[in-house]
Chain A
Amino acid sequence: MDVELVRAEGWATEDRDTTVRLALEAELTGAYRLAWWILRDAAAAEDAVAEAMLRAWERRRSLRDGTAVEAWFTRILVNVCRDTQRRKMRSEPALLRDAVIAIDPGVDLVDRDEIDRALARLTHDERMLLALRFGRDLAVPEIARRLDVPEGTAKSRLHAALAHLRAAVEAGRRDTGPR
């Protein structure tokens, strides 16, 4: 059965609370993964998802389209993750964007630990973009819709995030010596 059709029907029959609730519950696993990818902390991710779910539930009356729950909820979750990050008051990692980035756009694969360490050096927003693009496998227009930014903005930020990730990988390799 087409989930979107069910949601549209539920919306049309005024059973909106149930529609929203079911849609939110269906988002739980994906939301936790996304929060973890952004925050890189299991407890913080769990709290963020719970808080985002509650915020979404409390704001459900503002939702105008029953088929748009995912995009709407992603925006809320991303904002909660941002808040969480700010509260943690962790100093951002050394920004790499001003560094001389000598990217070798080679096709060498980077192992998981290297990616993990490199992601840790990115900003919250960069991790969020990469997670949506490569974790959630969303196309740029969809990412732009979920983040409520112009498509061009999403695309350029994504490019920048990838470049910074590459630089972080290279920096990590320099730190740990040649592989």
Chain B
Amino acid sequence: MNQEPREPVDPGLERSLRRYYADTALRPVPVGLAGRVRGGFERPARRGMSLATLAAAAAVVVLLAAVVGSPGLVGRGDERPSGGPLVSPTGAAPTRSVSFDARGIPTTIDGEPVLTGADIGRHVTAATDDTPFLIGGTVESVAIFCAMIPAYPSPNPLLQPCNGLQIDGYRLVWSPSSSSARGIDLSGPMILRVHVHDPGAASCPTTQRADCEQAIVVDERIFLSTTTGTGRDVEGLPTAIEGEPVLVGGDIDARVATIADGSSFLVGGFVHRSATVCPRAVLQPPVNPLLPECPMDLQLEGGRTLVDEHSSLAGFGDGPMVLRVHAHDRRATACPAGVRDRCERLLFVDAVAYQGSLRLPVAQP
């Protein structure tokens, strides 16, 4: 193909370049790219926006909602009108300024820093009194390991090794007086107002006093919300995007049960990646490569297993999202009869359509 006669301007460099490209051409094409591309050929046409545009738009919406002061900005859980909506659709929640890090965790709220990661530990070590401070991160349950831990030799509530929750690896203790923080469906990224050096530490045995003093006691949970699209459900997610409904909860199951083709649809809810070792009891036998080894690894709210073959969720932290998914993947027909139903119901992530902010409070009875 290269037939153009021309004078080489730098023959040594050109030879080096050719050799460089010849060497690096051996770089293997990533496994899965072909399938990803073929999957794209078989999906219905996108609706005008590229994945990147959608992701960027979602990020902009989240930031705008937070920074410009859209309805339902940052509201403390105990500030909502009793019996009414958790955050008023008309914008009754106070406006606050928030900035976010890459995980979607605010770095500051009204100028108050939100400590994350190792900064939490540093602050806990340095604190000398029970002045509250904000921490942020991914709250997760560690309760599954409690059965393996010998009973802790103290009844003091500040020493609860198996209370089941930690944030970015730091164990949390619920303050007896913290009503808004009490453990309701707590998992995923969130902001908590906490304190250390709780007065209750004074009653701890001397040998455990240091642990008690450094126990991170949760005073309250700080909620964020977002608004966008043509409506908003209690999770702060749009109820529809460009006229296409966002299915949540049981509607997802109904859709999967009634429409058996592989067409895509939008689902909304809290997306959670398990950060813990998969419990042996739920490990799937390798009966079919379609089934994830651990169905708990990536889930949509309600225990619905997600399969993210194309790494659409890479770069997104846990949180409320709207995803374009399909069930009844054509490969499901190859699953053995015993697990066919599970294969058919798997939700394959095609794209992230919207990323919400931190979760709104769950309505309490």
Contact = CB atoms under 8 A, between A and B. Distances in A.
**Pair from one complex:** yes
A47 to B, nearest CB: 8
Tell which of A29, A53, A134, A163 has the most Cβ of chain B within 10 Å.
Answer: A134
| Overall SS of chain B's interface | helix
Contacts of A51: 50-52
Interface string A130-145: 1100110111111000
Contacts of B14: 134, 162
A32 B30 CA distance: 9
A162 B12 CA distance: 11
Contact of B12 (A83, A106, A116): A106
B153 interface: no
Interface string B283-296: 00000000000000
B37 A50 contact: yes
Quick one: which of B21, B34, B45, B56 has the most chain A CB within 10 A? B21
Contacts of A95: none
Given A36-B27, A112-B23, A55 B50 contact: yes
A32 B33 contact: yes
A13 to B, nearest CB: 20
Given A49-B37, A50-B40, A55-B50, A42 B30 contact: yes
Contact of A57 (B10, B40, B52, B310): B40
B10 A103 contact: yes
Given A25-B37, A109-B12, A162-B9, A134 B27 contact: no
A118 to B, nearest CB: 9
A178 B21 CA distance: 25
A51 B21 CA distance: 23
A107 B11 contact: yes
B15 interface: yes
A138 B1 CA distance: 6
**Contact residues of A: prevailing secondary structure:** helix
Contacts of A139: 1-4
Contacts of B25: 33, 135
B10 A130 contact: no
B37 A53 contact: yes
Interface string A148-179: 00000000000100110110010000000000
Interface in B7-63: 9-21, 23-25, 27, 29-30, 33-34, 36-38, 40-41, 45-46, 50-52, 56
A134 B4 contact: no
B29 A29 contact: yes
B37 A115 contact: no
Contacts of A141: 4
**Most chain B CB atoms below 10 A, which of A49, A131, A141:** A49
Interface string A34-52: 0011000011001001110
A125 B10 CA distance: 20
Contacts of B37: 24-25, 28, 49-50, 53-54
Contact of B9 (A21, A109, A119, A159): A159
A57 B45 CA distance: 9
A111 B10 CA distance: 15
B129 to A, nearest CB: 43
A125 to B, nearest CB: 16
A109 B12 CA distance: 5
Nearest to B22: A135
Those 5 A-B pairs whose CB atoms lie nearest each other, nearest first: A135-B21, A107-B12, A110-B16, A139-B4, A54-B40
12 contacts: A25-B37, A32-B27, A33-B24, A33-B25, A37-B24, A49-B37, A50-B33, A50-B36, A115-B20, A134-B17, A135-B24, A135-B25
Given A54-B46, A112-B19, 19 more contacts: A25-B37, A28-B37, A33-B24, A46-B36, A50-B33, A50-B310, A51-B51, A57-B41, A58-B45, A105-B12, A106-B12, A112-B16, A114-B16, A115-B16, A116-B20, A134-B20, A138-B2, A159-B9, A166-B10
